[in-house]
Amino acid sequence: GAGVSQSPRYKVAKRGQDVALRCDPISGHVSLFWYQQALGQGPEFLTYFQNEAQLDKSGLPSDRFFAERPEGSVSTLKIQRTQQEDSAVYLCASSPGAAGDSYEQYFGPGTRLTVT
Amino acid sequence: RKEVEQDPGPFNVPEGATVAFNCTYSNSASQSFFWYRQDCRKEPKLLMSVYSSGNEDGRFTAQLNRASQYISLLIRDSKLSDSATYLCVALWGYSSASKIIFGSGTRLSIRP
């Protein structure tokens, strides 16, 4: 079956531009996570949705970052006024149960964002 | 101190060797642990969960030591295809109020 998909796969933005990154989770998955992964580092948690509810956004680095999942399926991560330090791979993952229920997370291929 | 720490490596070992690496976690309330594998420029994929009593999956063995707050991964008879970055993951909390923390990863390179 279809896995997690993300679009675009690559995005180059000029400093100060706004970007929107899309995630299509596996159908029926309750949980959706966004991570930021810098080169040579592990994924850093950004935010978590259970269905349409954003239950944890403690990892969002600034108020320029905003995420939504209005109908409990597709999610969008928006970054306003991009800065060079936002350059990273943004990974989306989905899971069939709640975050703490120890289900496997299924990752999408990521969006590689480069801010010039 | 990071909440989940791993030796970044790289570990460079010959094919057929046994290799082991550890991961330490700082939150004693952590209740679930995982090893994920990430190939270069690919997404992480679950390798195995780590159970309290330790568990084995083919050539891979995972162990948990709660007293010392570390988990380990042992790979026996390593293959060229085992070359990847191995990410340690700790989870604490329950249901919707939980934290999932990834380590920075340990790079493993298997040479012929």
Structure tokens belonging to residue A56: 């944890």
Pair of tokens at residue A88: 């990273």
d(CA B15, CA B32): 31
Number of neighbouring beta carbons within 10 Å of residue B39? 12
- pLDDT score recorded for residue B38: 97
Asked if A40 lies within 8 A of B104 by C-beta distance, the reply is: yes
The full 3-state SS of chain A, as one line of letters, equals CCCCEEECCEEEECCCCCEEEEEECCCCCCEEEEEEECCCCCCEEEEEEECCEEEECCCCCCCCEEEECCCCCCEEEEECCCCHHHCEEEEEEEECCCHHHCCCCEECCCEEEEEC
pLDDT of residue A99: 78
Residues B94, A100: C-beta atoms closer than 8 Å: yes
Mean pLDDT of B58-84: 96
Query: pLDDT band at B93, cuts 50/70/90?
Result: confident
Q: What is the mean pLDDT of chain B?
A: 92
Instruction: Using DSSP, state whether B82 is helix, strand or coil.
Output: helix
Comparing CA positions, the residue from B100, B82, B98, B80 lying closest to residue B90 is: B100
Look at residue B28 in the predicted model and tell me its pLDDT.
84
- Dihedral, CA atoms, A76, B45, B7, B9, nearest 10 degrees? -110
CA–CA dist A61, B81 (Å, integer): 36
Q: Which of A50, A104, A108 sits opposite B43 (nearest CB)?
A: A108
pLDDT at B96: 59
Q: Does residue B40 or residue B94 have the better pLDDT?
A: B40
Q: How confident is the model at residue B76 (pLDDT cuts 50, 70, 90)?
A: very high
Which one of A43, A91, A98 has the shortest CB-CB distance to B96? A98
10-residue stretch averages of pLDDT, chain A, 116 residues long: 92 98 96 94 94 93 97 97 97 89 89 98
What pLDDT score was predicted for residue B95? Answer: 61
Among partner residues B87, B91, B103, which is closest to A100 by beta-carbon distance? B91
CA distance B79 to chain A (A): 23
Residue B50 has pLDDT above 70, yes or no: yes
Residue of B96, B99, B107 to mutate, testing the A interface (most A Cβ within 10 Å of its Cβ): B96
Q: Is the pLDDT of residue B94 over 70?
A: no
How far apart are the C-alpha atoms of B63 and B21, rounded to whole Å? 11
Give the pLDDT confidence score for residue B27 in this predicted structure. 86
